[in-house]
Structure 1
Amino acid sequence: MRARAALLTTAVLLAGCAGGTPADSAGPPTVAPAASTSSSVGSAGSFSPTDIAWLQLTAAMTDRLLPVLDLVPTRTTDPAWRRLAADVRASNRADLSRSRQLLREAGAPTTNPHEGHDMPGMITTDELTALRSATGETFHRLLAAHLRAYLTQTVRVATAEQKSGVHPATTTLAATVIRSNTTHQQNLNNLSPTPTSPAPAR
């Protein structure tokens, strides 16, 4: 399922998602043709399918993250974790607001084309349920894993947008996402270093 989701993510960034195939369904994802473009209403230039696909994916991923961050004040009293969660929430809520604004300017559909997709970096319903019942170090461990997956994937797809997108305001937003979420990654690693695999037995 995760492999198909990764392929869908790549297809979304290259050509835009037609919104018809969940990541865990049978068969390859349906992808919109890459040739069409949408004219911008409020910004200079035009939006390419890559721009719109990235904006839609960013909005969908952030929508999944916010309920996770909302749990932090009730699940931990650690000031460092609370500060990290607040910083991630603030910058990513701002990015979400800007993404939705640009989608409106592009005349893109207001519905979420990734509804029901469990794509890389998106927390699932079961994972959120587990977080809601966790406390202490278990909560910190799960939170770190989900944040790391989200931050890593958002930087990855924003980098693809910055390289392949054409709309100036959208590629500028991608640069902002890369900068802020890379900083959040570094701060997360200071709190919870990336687990390393044990050395093989000799």
Structure 2
Amino acid sequence: MRQSTASALLAAVLLVAGCGAGPRDAASTATPPVTAPPVSSAPTATGTAGSFNPTDIAWLQLTVAMTERLLPVLDLVPARTTDPAWRRTATQVATTRRAELDRAHRLLAEAAAPTTNPHEGHDMPGMVTAQEVTVLRAASGKPFHRLLAGHLRAHLTQSVRIATEEQQSGAQPATVALAAAVVRSGTADLARLDHLDPA
């Protein structure tokens, strides 16, 4: 893949993600410039040989950022609701997301990508904000369920969307395989959520 094409695909992934440096606001459309790290083509310790293109790196970094925002929300569930179905769903989603997060971190390390989070401080679609977490901490029971459902649905929908983009535009086999796993798990989790909280 030519570098110009890869850069265009990277931009497409970030546009789909709605990456911005400020709060989520319809008036805020600026996207900070992104410099992709050098790609790696050497076989790795885990056998995931293949070149990482800029789309692979961008998707992995965004997936890490989104998941790290979601996990503290799921950790609130045992203290905010006694409903066994919601507790079970939160546990299932958290277990899957932690496993996917671990795989994403390992792939970023294999790609020799920067260890810093390029999305630190960004509030993008699918990310729960600090203010929203504060509201969740003050809620319980059905009000908590409604808030949680909204945040989970936004996160899962966006995760599936950008993972689908990675499947179409990524190059590194293990990264594309992880994207496929995210699509499968996200779609299944959305179905569970729709059963608990019909949209």
Q: Normalising TM by the smaller chain, what interval?
A: 0.7 to 0.9
Aligned residue number for residue 6 of structure 2: none
Aligned residue number for residue 69 of structure 2: 64
What CA RMSD, in Å, does the superposition of the two structures yield over aligned residues?
A: 2.3
Aligned residue number for residue 22 of structure 1: 21
Alignment of 1:25-44 (within 5 A): 28-32=30-34, 37-41=38-42, 42=44, 43-44=48-49
User: How big is the shift at 1:40?
Assistant: 4.3
Higher RCO structure, 1 or 2 (CA under 8 Å, sep 6+): 2
User: How big is the shift at 1:29?
Assistant: 1.8
State the distance in 1 between where 2:141 and 2:29 align. 41
Alpha-carbon displacement from aligned partner over 1:45-79 (angstroms, at most 9, x marks no partner): 11000000000000000000000000000111111
Secondary structure (helix, strand or coil) at the match of 2:21 reads coil
Alignment of 1:42-191 (within 5 A): 42=44, 43-191=48-196
State the distance in 1 between where 2:113 and 2:35 align. 15
State the distance in 2 between where 1:27 and 1:186 align. 32
What is the total number of aligned residue pairs between the two structures?
181
Q: Which AA in structure 2 matches 1:114?
A: H
Query: TM-score with structure 1 length normalisation?
Result: 0.83
Q: Runs ≥4 in structure 1, deviation > 6 angstroms?
A: none
Alpha-carbon displacement from aligned partner over 1:179-199 (angstroms, at most 9, x marks no partner): 0110000000000011xxxxx
User: How big is the shift at 1:14?
Assistant: 5.9
- Unaligned stretches of 5+ residues in structure 2: 1-9
Alpha-carbon displacement from aligned partner over 1:77-128 (angstroms, at most 9, x marks no partner): 1110000000000000000000000000000001100001000000001000
Secondary structure (helix, strand or coil) at the match of 1:47 reads coil
Secondary structure (helix, strand or coil) at the match of 1:39 reads coil
Asked if the contact 2:82/2:141 (under 8 Å) is kept, the reply is: no
Q: Which AA in structure 2 matches 1:71?
A: L
User: How big is the shift at 1:44?
Assistant: 1.0
Asked if the contact 1:59/1:99 (under 8 Å) is kept, the reply is: yes
Asked if the contact 1:62/1:96 (under 8 Å) is kept, the reply is: yes
Query: TM-score with structure 2 length normalisation?
Result: 0.84
The percentage of aligned residue pairs carrying the same residue is: 59
State the distance in 1 between where 2:32 and 2:131 align. 26
User: How big is the shift at 1:31?
Assistant: 2.9
Secondary structure (helix, strand or coil) at the match of 1:189 reads helix
